Amino acid sequence: MTDTNRSPSFRRMAGLTYREAGVDIEAGEELVERIKPLAKATATPHVLGAIGGFAGLCTIPEDIDDPVLVSGTDGVGTKLKLAFQLGRHDSIGIDLVAMCVNDIITVGARPLFFLDYFATSKLDVDQAEAVVRGIAEGCRQAGCALLGGETAELPGFYASGEYDLAGFAVGVVSRKNIIDGASVKAGDIVIGLASSGLHSNGYSLARRVLVEGEPPLSLDEIVEPVGALGRVLLEPTRIYVTASTVALEHDVHAMCHITGGGLLENLPRVLPEGLGIRLDPSSWKPNPIFDLIQKRGGIADTEMRRTFNMGIGFTVIVDRKKADRLLGALNESGERALSIGEVIDGGGVTFSA
């Protein structure tokens, strides 16, 4: 879990050590020891070996007929800037896992494992441990193993106290059970699952409007009816693995993660050619943070809808006759699920007045 590459010729030159060059091997080794119990707590029966080797090993579940591996990769983006400003690093790892697993479950995959990449200029073991603790929590919520990762100390590459995060998830689905949107038809119902906030998209615009605008708002400020601004903006991305499992039990036609591009650009990705979606924006009430951003920035509706999730983090498309039963099952599972629109002939995404 650490970058321990050395350059013997460099160390001999001028008698320097790797630590003097900016890479603290001992700190990296300490972090690995702290990470081991976090990763172990996420282990599933399919994981082989332990943290610390050159590669992670995971078997494919035997109950998957004709298995197909599914992968997805992502980062957290400029939401990290808020974590740096607030000095809070314990939840940003949940965002990292969520952005990856929420993508792979759209095709019906069961998440198997996750790997992360953490890069910083100078390793702060406490900070890095907090980040990985969040990653482990995200894996717990997703039901997958934290199989391994890489911690890279890159002197002078990042600003002091800052880091970057990336990760990828691997899941598995039976070939016959792949959800590819081919069965979507006009008249199908679109069910929306509430987001926990901005998730991990649109933060460059949100930060520009809220904390860099005139006058700038303090992240410690209580803004009604939003609440504590920093806490709301750092609210981790919701993980929809349980919801997708419930949906798969009700013959869904398509599932969609509302990520970068918002409702406007993501929903068409799961539709056959010649079909579109009409949404009823009055059917759900977004978190007040979206209204604050829009009013403070004077942002047009279209720009908001293609930048943010607008309160809907995940959607499921299902036959009209099965919609009520699925809605009930999703709400019983702990989601806030609503019927928000329908599939229509045509193309793109439109909003009813």
> What is the Rg, in whole angstroms, of the alpha carbon atoms belonging to the chain?
22
Quote the pLDDT of residue 12.
42
Q: Which amino acid is at 158?
A: Y
Helices and strands, counts by H and E, the chain: 12, 14
Q: Which residues lie below 8 Å from residue 136, measured CB to CB, with a gap of 6+?
A: 38, 39, 41, 42, 93, 146
Name the fold adopted by 189-351: Phosphoribosyl-aminoimidazole Synthetase; Chain A, domain 2 (3.90.650)
Instruction: Name the stretches of the chain with pLDDT < 70.
Output: 1-15, 17-18, 20-21, 52
CA dist 250 and 265 (Å) reads 26
Residue 272 DSSP symbol: -
Which residue in the block uniquely carries the two structure tokens 């599933």?
44
Backbone angles phi, psi at 146, to 5 degrees: -85, 100
Q: Which amino acid is at 11?
A: R
Beta-bridge partners for 168: 73, 115
pTM of the entire predicted model: 0.91
CA dist 281 and 350 (Å) reads 10
Taking the domains of the chain in order of start, what are their residue ranges? Answer: 8-177, 189-351
What CATH number labels 8-177?
3.30.1330.10
CA dist 23 and 19 (Å) reads 5
DSSP state letters, 114-141: EEEEEEESS--HHHHHHHHHHHHHHHHH
CA dist 234 and 273 (Å) reads 37
Quote the pLDDT of residue 9.
37
